[in-house]
Amino acid sequence: MADNMDKDRVVIFDTTLRDGEQSPGCSMNLEEKLRIAEALAAMGVDVIEAGFPIASEGDFEAVNEIAKSVKGPAICGLSRATKGDIDRAAEALKPAERKRIHTFISTSPLHMKFKLQMDPEDVHQAVIDSVSHARSHTDDVEWSPEDGSRTEHDFLCRCVESAIDAGAGTINIPDTVGYAVPDEFGALIDMLMNRVPNIDKAIISVHCHNDLGLAVANSLAAVKAGARQVECTINGIGERAGNASMEEIVMALRTRADVMPYTTNIVTEHIMKASRLLSSITGFQVQPNKAIVGANAFAHESGIHQDGVLKNAATYEIMTPESVGLTKSNIVLGKHSGRHAFKEKARDLGYDLGDNALQSAFKRFKDLADLKKEVFDEDIIALIDDQGSGVEEALSLVSLEVNCGTVHTPPKAAMTMRILGDEKSCDATGDGPVDAAFNCIKTLFPHNARLQLYQVHAVTEGTDAQAEVSVRLEEDGRTVNGMAADTDTLVASCRAYIMALNKLLVKRQKTAPEALSA
C-alpha cells in the first residue's frame, strides 16, 4: 500500500476466493473466479487473495490468470512457511502489476505442539526464513501467526517484531477459530501497538472467523485499536461459520463514521451485485435477514414502520437501499421494451454487457417478457447471471415433458438431450417430477456424481415467478455447482443439473483426457 496513505484509511483485503472458497461445497471454476475477481476490482477492493497456489493446479491457475488480467487491486497468493510454497505463490503471481505474498505459520501453543509438532524456537526461525524468502520475490509481504488470538503474548510480540525486521509490511492477526470477543481482541491489537518496538513499520491487519457470530464486531474493535487492514469475504463465506462479512464492515464504517471515523475505498453501490454474483455462482443463498444483503434488509413489513418510512425514510432506515446498490424502481421492462432500454437497465443493475452477451441476454429477456406480465429487476439479474459460458457445451437440454399429479402412476419425464453433438432421448419415472427428470439425465448420460444440493429459489413473488435453481454435484472429491433460471421450475432444474455436469466434465478432462465418456 502507498506509504502516504491516510492514517484513517482501512485497507480492504478480500479473501472470498481463498478462505471463502474453503467453505464446504463452495468451490468455483476458473471462469467463475475471474468474474468474482473482476467484480471485486470494480468495487475498489485493495487486495484480492486469489488462492493458495501450492494447494492444487486449479488454485495455481486461478491465481495466475487473475494476476494476468485483473487490474487495480494487489493480487495476493497464500503460502505456508516453506520455500516450495512461497516459490509456487511467486510463480503464480508473476504477471501481476502489484503482487503480494501472504505467508503464515501457527504460533499458539496448541497448534505448535499438535499440528506443527515444532518447538517455539523453530517456529520463530521459520518466521524469519519465510518472510525473508518471500521478500526475495516481492516487496509486498504479509505475515500471519495462525491462531494468533490464542498465542502467548510474549511469543506473539517476538514473532511480529522479527517478521517486520525480516521485511513484512503487513502483519495479519487471525482469530482463526473465532474464539475472541471484541474487548479482548481490541486489547490484543492495542497490546501489539504498544509493545512491538518496530510496529510503526507495518500495517496491522485482522482476519476474524465467525464461529461465535463476532467476526465483524471483533474486526471493528481491532480497527478502533489501530488495525488498518481488515480481511473479509463477500456474504461472509469462509471456513466453518465463515469470515467477517465485507459488506457489514464497510457499511458499518460508512454508516457510523460518527463513532468510527475510518474510510475504505469500496464503492458501496456495488455491494448487492457482488453478493448476488457470488450466490448465483456458489448456490449459497443469503439468508433473508442477513444484514445489508438479505432480501429483508430493507423491507418494512409492519404498518407502523411502513407509515414512518413513507413520511421520512430515516425513521427506520439507517442507510439508503441505493447506497448498497439496490435500485429504487422495481417494476421495469415489458415485452415492448427495446434493446436500448434493456442495455440501460442492465447497466443500472451493474452489468456492462459486451455486444454478444447483450444480444443473448436481450433475446432471453424477450422470451421471458412473453411469458411474464411484469419483468422485475431480480428477473433481469437472474437472466444475466444465467448466461452460461458462451461456448458450446458438451451436454445440453433439447426438450422436456413431464407428467405428474394425483394420478396413481409414478411421475414420468420424457427428455431429449444433445450429447457431444448427437441428440438422444429417453423416458424415466421417479418419486416426483424432479426425480423423474433427473433420472432421464442419468439414463442419457450415466455418471456416478452424487447430488449434494438441490435448491429452488423464487426470484420474485407471484406464481409466474422465475425459479432460480442451484444444483451441486460431487464426484471423487470434486465439487461443482450449476445454476439456471426459468419460469418452468423443472426446466430450470434440468438445466442447472446439466450445467453442473458440464463443469464436472471440464474438471475430469483436466486429469484424464478421455474423460468425456461417462
Q: Is 495 in the site for ligand KIV (CB under 6 A)?
A: no
Q: Is 342 in the site for ligand KIV (CB under 6 A)?
A: no
Using left for φ > 0, alpha for ψ between -120 and 50, and beta otherwise, residue 189 falls in alpha
Contact (Cβ atoms closer than 8 angstroms) between residue 112 and residue 106: yes
Q: Is 49 in the site for ligand KIV (CB under 6 A)?
A: no
Please identify, using beta-carbon distances, which residue of 98 and 207 lies nearer to ligand KIV. 207
* Binding residues among 43-82 for Zn ion as defined by CB under 5 A: none
Three cell numbers written together for 324: 448498497
Residue 144 touches which member of Zn ion, ligand KIV, none, C-beta under 5-8 Å by kind: ligand KIV
Distance of closest approach, residue 348 Cβ to ligand KIV, in angstroms: 36
Distance of closest approach, residue 209 Cβ to ligand KIV, in angstroms: 6
Question: What's the chain's length in residues?
Answer: 518
Residue 408: CB atoms within 10 Å: 5
Contact (Cβ atoms closer than 8 angstroms) between residue 142 and residue 93: no
Three cell numbers written together for 312: 421520512
Contact (Cβ atoms closer than 8 angstroms) between residue 179 and residue 213: no
Q: What is d(CA 68, CA 38) in angstroms, rounded to the nearest whole number?
A: 12
Q: What is d(CA 323, CA 192) in angstroms, rounded to the nearest whole number?
A: 35
Residue 123: CB atoms within 10 Å: 19
- Longest C-alpha distance within the chain, in Å? 79
Q: Is 146 in the site for Zn ion (CB under 5 A)?
A: no
The number of CA neighbours under 13 Å toward the Cβ of 513 is 0
Q: Which residue has the cell 436500448?
A: 340
Distance of closest approach, residue 104 Cβ to Zn ion, in angstroms: 9
Residue 16 touches which member of ligand KIV, Zn ion, none, C-beta under 5-8 Å by kind: none
Residue 104 touches which member of ligand KIV, Zn ion, none, C-beta under 5-8 Å by kind: ligand KIV
* Binding residues among 7-26 for Zn ion as defined by CB under 5 A: 19
Please identify, using beta-carbon distances, which residue of 215 and 369 lies nearer to ligand KIV. 215
* Among 16, 130, 162, 176, interactor with ligand KIV by CB under 6 A: 176
Three cell numbers written together for 380: 433481469
Helices (H), 312-451: 339-348, 355-371, 377-385, 433-444
Residues 435-474, one symbol each (x = binds Zn ion by CB under 5 A, - = not), give: ----------------------------------------
Residue 377 touches which member of Zn ion, ligand KIV, none, C-beta under 5-8 Å by kind: none
Q: Is 146 in the site for ligand KIV (CB under 6 A)?
A: yes
Q: Is 486 in the site for ligand KIV (CB under 6 A)?
A: no
Three cell numbers written together for 435: 426425480
Please identify, using beta-carbon distances, which residue of 210 and 481 lies nearer to Zn ion. 210
Residue 308: CB atoms within 10 Å: 16
Site size toward ligand KIV, by CB under 6 A? 8
Q: What is d(CA 79, CA 63) in angstroms, rounded to the nearest whole number?
A: 12
Which DSSP category does 240 fall into?
A: T
Q: Is 175 in the site for Zn ion (CB under 5 A)?
A: no
Q: Which residue has the cell 421492462?
A: 333
Residues 233-252, one symbol each (x = binds ligand KIV by CB under 6 A, - = not), give: --------------------
Please identify, using beta-carbon distances, which residue of 15 and 479 lies nearer to Zn ion. 15
Distance of closest approach, residue 243 Cβ to Zn ion, in angstroms: 6
Contact (Cβ atoms closer than 8 angstroms) between residue 174 and residue 202: no
Distance of closest approach, residue 242 Cβ to ligand KIV, in angstroms: 11
Buried residues in 336-349 as b, exposed as e (16+ CB within 10 A): ebeeeebbebbeeb
* Among 23, 79, 138, 144, interactor with ligand KIV by CB under 6 A: 144
Q: Is 231 in the site for Zn ion (CB under 5 A)?
A: no
Report DSSP letters for 400-417, one per residue: EEEE-SSSSS--EEEEEE
Distance of closest approach, residue 480 Cβ to ligand KIV, in angstroms: 24
> Residue 59: which residues within 8 A CB-CB, separation 6 or more?
51, 52, 53
Q: Is 207 in the site for ligand KIV (CB under 6 A)?
A: yes
* Binding residues among 420-479 for ligand KIV as defined by CB under 6 A: none
Which DSSP category does 390 fall into?
A: S
Phi–psi pair at 101, nearest 5 degrees? -105, 130
Site size toward Zn ion, by CB under 5 A? 1
Residue 64 touches which member of Zn ion, ligand KIV, none, C-beta under 5-8 Å by kind: none
* Binding residues among 76-135 for ligand KIV as defined by CB under 6 A: 104
Residue 457 touches which member of Zn ion, ligand KIV, none, C-beta under 5-8 Å by kind: none
Distance of closest approach, residue 56 Cβ to ligand KIV, in angstroms: 16
- Shortest Cβ contact with Zn ion: which residue? 19
Please identify, using beta-carbon distances, which residue of 173 and 437 lies nearer to Zn ion. 173
Q: How far is CA 322 from CA 230, 317, 318, 328, in A?
A: 24, 11, 12, 7
Please identify, using beta-carbon distances, which residue of 111 and 508 lies nearer to ligand KIV. 111
Q: Which residue has the cell 494468533?
A: 148
Please identify, using beta-carbon distances, which residue of 189 and 467 lies nearer to Zn ion. 189
Q: What is d(CA 170, CA 254) in angstroms, rounded to the nearest whole number?
A: 24
Distance of closest approach, residue 209 Cβ to Zn ion, in angstroms: 6
Residues 1-40, one symbol each (x = binds ligand KIV by CB under 6 A, - = not), give: ------------------x---------------------
Binding site for Zn ion (CB under 5 A): 19
Binding site for ligand KIV (CB under 6 A): 19, 104, 144, 146, 174, 176, 207, 209
